[in-house]
Structure 1
Amino acid sequence: MLKGIPQILSPELLKVLSEMGHSDRIVLADGNFPAESMGKSAVVIRCDGHGIPELLDAILQLFPLDTYVEQPVSLMSVMPGDDVKTPIWDVYKGIVAEHDPRGELAVGNIERFKFYEESKKAYAIIATGEHALYANVMLQKGVIA
């Protein structure tokens, strides 16, 4: 155990966050996301007992968001015709605003299948137990000045 490190962050996840460089991306995947098949070229970390909001907050305490792109936080857009509400997105935007001066302006959306394609290029995918639909979020790492 270390001082100042959120307990929800496992040693494996801390190692991955530390290994990542500028512009690398990490996906926090909900329970329905095909983490293992999307992560064939990525490190896949299992965090099945945790929700994304708690992990997102803990990660952003240590992880700078990229300032060289407008929206370093990407959400998976709801497919047309899906009657799904996404209140979790507001939770994410609030968490991002606590850690990045751009607030919710740092958050954008990516069409579902493009999100999958971008996930295949991610450095890591965290498979969570998040139950909310369309709860996937991708973070792009920045630099520590």
Structure 2
Amino acid sequence: MKKIGILNSEISRVISELGHMDMIVIADAGLPIPLHVKRIDLALKEGIPSFIETVETVLQEMCVENAYLAQEMESASPTKKGELIAVLPGVPIKVITHEELKALTHQAKAVIRTGEFTSFANVVLEAGVIF
């Protein structure tokens, strides 16, 4: 049994297989997920697991070069946006429309679906390199 880090085998595998500029998405419970993209469904019930908790856990193992979030998050979920920015220190954040974010999901290696019920609580994480 794995002793430390992410215990979810699908998330651990996806992160270990990422190359430079590959993307994963951490999503609220309502974001549409393209059929051809790997869905890692963690949603158990409303709020479990939370969006921020999931982002924090993924960031422990993933080198992130850029993060993309929807501009609609500012007006619909400003508190959640602030929490997200706080857990991404030093990571450039690119604000795009929600439609552009949904388009990026088609390029993602995986979408991790959380139990988050906050509107627009989604982020696309672009992998960096550790060297």
TM-score higher than 0.5: yes
* Identical amino acids, percent of aligned pairs: 28
- 3-state SS in 2 of match to 1:21: coil
Report the Cα offset of residue 51 of structure 1: 1.1
Q: Which runs of 5+ in 2 are unaligned?
A: none
Give the residue type in structure 1 aligned to 2:118. A
Give the residue type in structure 1 aligned to 2:69. L
CA offset digits 1:63-100 (Å, max 9, x no partner): 0012xxxxx11112218xxx624210111111111xxx
Match of 1:91 among 83, 91, 97: 83
- 3-state SS in 2 of match to 1:96: coil
Counterpart check, 1:31 vs 2:26: no
Matched residue, 2:107: 121
Work out the number of aligned pairs and report it.
Answer: 127
Give the residue type in structure 2 aligned to 1:56. V
Report the Cα offset of residue 143 of structure 1: 0.9
TM-score, length-normalised on structure 2? 0.88
Give the residue type in structure 2 aligned to 1:77. Q
CA contact (8 A) 2:43 2:113 kept: yes
Partners of 1:85 and 1:129 in 2: how far apart?
A: 16
Q: Which runs of 5+ in 1 are unaligned?
A: 67-71
CA offset digits 1:115-145 (Å, max 9, x no partner): 1111111111111111111101110001122
TM-score, length-normalised on structure 1? 0.80
Give the residue type in structure 2 aligned to 1:55. T
- Regions of 4+ moved over 3 Å: none
Matched residue, 1:3: 3
Matched residue, 1:107: 93
CA contact (8 A) 1:52 1:128 kept: yes
Report the Cα offset of residue 2 of structure 1: 2.3
